[in-house]
Amino acid sequence: MAACWRDYGCDVGCDAARDRLLDAARCFPPGTIELVAAVLRDGAAAKGCEPWQSGGGQTVADHVQHAFDHVFALWDGTFSTEDATHAIARLLLALSTAGKP
């Protein structure tokens, strides 16, 4: 029963894992998870991997650099919701890639 959440670091049953995930999701501003998830899904489709995976062999430094590219749009006046969601997605991928070969 716990196998459905094992890839996400949960070793509890599906109902308990769902409740833990929903509790964590409530920490984020409304609508933001869906926006970032859409970016991760689009990237996964382009790279041929799962949305939570870092396809293409990018390193932590690669993800952080790409996140900075989006954040730096603040200074040239072109920063948008798209830049924000892409920066967040890249930083999440950097976080999940850290410590992996």
What residues does each domain of the chain span? 1-28, 31-101
pTM exceeds 0.95 for this model: no
Whether pLDDT at 66 is above 90: yes
* Cα-Cα-Cα-Cα dihedral sign, residues 35, 37, 43, 45: negative
25-to-32, 84, 85 alpha-carbon distances in Å: 10, 18, 16
Q: Where are the alpha helices (DSSP H) in the chain?
A: 3-6, 14-25, 32-47, 60-71, 73-76, 81-97
Of the listed ranges 38-42, 46-50, 55-59, 88-92, the one predicted with least confidence: 55-59
Q: 18-22: which pairs have CB atoms within 8 A and are 24 or more residues apart?
A: none
